Amino acid sequence: MRRIFATMAAALAMGVSAPALASELGGGVYPNGAEGFSGAAMPPPGTYLLGYLQHYEADRFNGPDGEAGLLPNFRVRSDAAIVRMVHMTPVKILGATWGMQAIVPVVKLKVGAAGLGDETTGLGDITIDPILLGWHFQNGVHVSAGVDINLPLGAYDRRKLSNISRNYLNFEPVVALAYYGKKGFSLDVKVMYDINTRNNQAVFTPFNPTGASYRSGNELHADIAVGQQIGKWKLGASGYVYKQTTKDQVSDPTAQAFIERMRGFKGQVIGVGPTASYQAGKVQLIGTWQHEFHAENRPQGDKFWLKAIIPIGR
């Protein structure tokens, strides 16, 4: 029984924090809350290095009604270092500046339940977007759009408790809106919709004991940040809203029946907390703490971010 609970913990918990943490049920490729200040507008033409450090901890896994205790003695800890390269060209497409990006994470993940657990450290799945479009208007409004493609290149073993790859392709359309006022007020809203493909080498779990092919439900989520510039500082709040829109699907009828009883294992969560940024020359530094509220079919915990935006050339 202890092994069953520990395996369930791993199967459910991997998608909670860093990019591409594996989860057949709930979770997702995108690390909710990653983009706060300056997260919705594309920069001017040039090349930019963005670095992220993230820490996430949770000691409860909630059920479908948001109640704690679905998994006994549950605990997850994730630490991630992410490098994101963005290149914006001077080329115009439909009046927008054309750019591209690549995101590479390195993740250390530790999961436990019922007194058992393990950890994995390695390269996560890589995200690319060859067509980023950014529109800029004189009234301070900025609009951007693109389609991120998440490639399953990270470490994955269907027999392990911890994985840092989803082991399937994911397509994520993105639309973002930003407003930067003349008096220093800012609003960033980034909305994404994850379209997940099928994992033909699914993790072995008590509710999918044969490892039958598995397709995680699609996910709608948004990062939101509001702030006020005061000299070199910007102070405010940032958060995220996440809701799985379609149920999980598994090719084994018995396993699918279990999924149906758990309302399709549709996850949802809200996270919010304070954030601050400091402009050190051309480098912008952003620190954030986000506390999660009312998680369903997911862990519920706390997330910490340190982000740097560094222009490196034109």
Span 195-225, pLDDT tens digits: 999 999 998 877 788 999 999 999 999 999 9
Between CA 215 and CA 46 the distance in angstroms is 38
In this structure, what token pair is assigned to residue 180?
């930067």
Mention every residue, 6+ apart, whose C-beta is less than 8 A from residue 208. Answer: 11, 24, 202, 214, 250, 252, 255
Facing residues of 46 across strands?
A: 88
- Which residues is 149 bridged to in the sheet? 128, 171
pLDDT band at residue 27 under the 50/70/90 scheme: low
CA 137 to chain centre: 29
Note the pLDDT tens digit of each residue in 278-290.
Answer: 999 999 999 999 9
What number of residues does the chain have?
314
In CATH, the number for domain 2-313 is: 2.40.160.40
Query: How far is Cα 7 from Cα 130, in angstroms, rounded to an integer?
Result: 37
Give the model's confidence band at 42: pLDDT under 50 very low, under 70 low, under 90 confident, else very high. Answer: very high
What residues have CB less than 8 Å from 261, skipping those under 6 apart?
none
Residue 179: pLDDT over 70: yes
pLDDT higher than 70, residue 1: no
> What are the b/e assignments for 152-188, b being 16+ CB within 10 Å?
bebbbebebbbbbbbbbbbebebebebbbeeeeebbb
Q: In the predicted model, is pLDDT for residue 114 greater than 80? A: no
Q: For the segment 132-170, what is each residue's pLDDT rounded down to a tens digit? A: 999 999 999 999 999 999 999 998 988 887 888 999 999
Q: Which residue has the higher pLDDT, 160 or 128?
A: 128
Residue 103 CA to residue 85 CA, distance in Å, equals: 7
pLDDT of residue 20: 31
pLDDT at residue number 203: 85
Number of Cβ within 10 Å of residue 310's Cβ equals 14
Residue 242 has pLDDT above 60, yes or no: yes
Sequence-distant (6+) residues with CB within 8 A of 255 are 207, 208, 209, 210, 212
Report the candidate in 92, 138, 70 with the shortest Cα–Cα distance to residue 299: 70
